[in-house]
């Protein structure tokens, strides 16, 4: 089996969402779904749609929700041979509702589902791989999932792959900021690329101010920090340069998963040796397009569409 360029590890979920805005999850109302989801899975799907070989390490139940996920990932070119099918528990589920002020509320079933039964990584998975992608949501879900991520980081870097880390974290689920930093340290210490929001950069470092926090991450050995700034685009920090790139204007339908699409665009840009500015444009394009369809994975853009929005010349892959 040929090794994939990019390997993503973590939770596989289906998302079931309210049809109406401002419909709280504690009251009866209509839902729509299931939609394939899970932050590391959205990342994997987008990277594959950009033309790169991607494998996923995770688990689903032997049920129709698991089939929903496997069918979608296979359709978009993700190698699913490392995804276990678990008969003893159901596929992970997230319920979500949206509010008029742009906020969201979730109920997750992750650690106690098949999503929490990630198989152990093997050294052979990473021979020839270029990137391993880890999400903070996976570190947050359970101790078993956390340890799997740590082990994957060790194996990947030993094989010469680089680690990208999106700290999409909820400190209230991890026992506060100090506990969060402790949990993230083994991944940050291995990471070549970190993709935080303002708040996440500060949480990871304990440093006030996003720019100062990103500088602190560079001092810790991270090569590139892609600071997500929402509607303002992103700012990229590296040892030799700092680049700010504006966002693309699109009609936002569903913002869930847009950050994961951004991550995939950034990893692909670095893989293809684009400049930091070009890489940021591709990431912004993927993030913008990721928000234009209902369902967290539905906006993942094909290569031609993402490169066109980013105004980048596209070589065939």
- Catalytic residue, chosen from 101, 260, 263, 316, is 260
Residue 27 φ/ψ, nearest 5 degrees: -120, 150
pLDDT band per the 50, 70, 90 thresholds, residue 46: very high
Question: Is residue 316 pLDDT above 60, yes or no?
Answer: no
- The CATH code of the domain that includes 253 is 3.40.1190.20
Residue 231 counted as domain residue: yes
Residue 99 counted as domain residue: no
Query: Taking each helix axis from N to C terminus, what angle separates 210-219 and 198-205, rounded to the nearest 10 degrees?
Result: 50
pTM of the model: 0.94
Residue range 108-129: average pLDDT?
90
Residue 97 counted as domain residue: no
Residue 51 counted as domain residue: yes
Would residue 260 show up in a list of annotated catalytic residues for this protein?
Answer: yes
Question: Is residue 171 pLDDT above 70, yes or no?
Answer: no
Residue 304 counted as domain residue: yes
Give the whole-angstrom CA distance, residue 192 versus residue 169.
19
Residue 7 φ/ψ, nearest 5 degrees: -125, 130
Q: What's the confidence (pLDDT) of residue 64? A: 95
Quote the domain boundaries for residue 235.
Answer: 6-11+38-88+120-309
Residue 93 counted as domain residue: no
Strands 234-238 and 78-79: unpaired
Residue 110 counted as domain residue: no
Q: What's the confidence (pLDDT) of residue 234? A: 96
* Number of domains present in the structure of the chain: 1
Give the whole-angstrom CA distance, residue 72 versus residue 183.
31
């Amino acid at each position: 089996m040929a090794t994939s360029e990019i390997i993503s590890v973590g939770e596989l979920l289906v998302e079931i969402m309210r049809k109406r805005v401002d419909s709280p999850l504690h009251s009866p109302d209509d839902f729509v779904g299931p939609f394939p989801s899970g932050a590391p899975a959205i990342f994997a799907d987008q990277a594959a749609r950009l033309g790169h070989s991607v494998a996923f390490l995770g688990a689903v139940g032997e049920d129709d929700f698991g089939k929903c996920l496997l069918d979608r990932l296979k359709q978009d070119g993700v190698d699913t041979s490392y995804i276990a099918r678990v008969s003893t528990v159901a596929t992970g589920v997230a319920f979500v509702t949206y509010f008029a002020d742009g906020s969201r509320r979730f109920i997750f079933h992750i650690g106690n589902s098949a999503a929490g039964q990630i198989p152990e990584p093997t050294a052979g998975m990473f021979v020839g791989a270029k990137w391993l992608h880890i999400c903070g949501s996976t570190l947050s879900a359970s101790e078993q999932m956390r340890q799997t991520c740590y082990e994957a980081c060790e194996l990947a870097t030993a094989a010469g792959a680089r680690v990208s880390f999106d700290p999409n974290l909820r400190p209230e689920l991890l026992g506060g900021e100090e506990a969060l930093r402790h949990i993230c340290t083994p991944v940050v210490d291995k990471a070549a690329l970190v993709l935080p929001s303002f708040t996440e950069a500060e949480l990871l470092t304990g440093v006030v101010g996003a720019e100062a926090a990103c500088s602190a991450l560079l001092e810790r050995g991270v090569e590139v920090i892609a600071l997500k700034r929402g509607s303002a685009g992103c700012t990229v920090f590296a040892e030799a340069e700092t680049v700010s790139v504006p966002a693309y204007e699109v009609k936002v339908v569903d913002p869930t998963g847009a950050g994961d699409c951004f991550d995939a665009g950034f990893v692909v840009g670095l893989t293809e040796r684009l400049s930091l500015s070009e890489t940021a444009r591709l990431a912004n394009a993927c993030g913008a397009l990721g928000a234009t369809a209902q369902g967290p994975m539905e906006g993942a853009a094909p290569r031609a569409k993402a490169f066109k929005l980013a105004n980048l010349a596209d070589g065939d892959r």
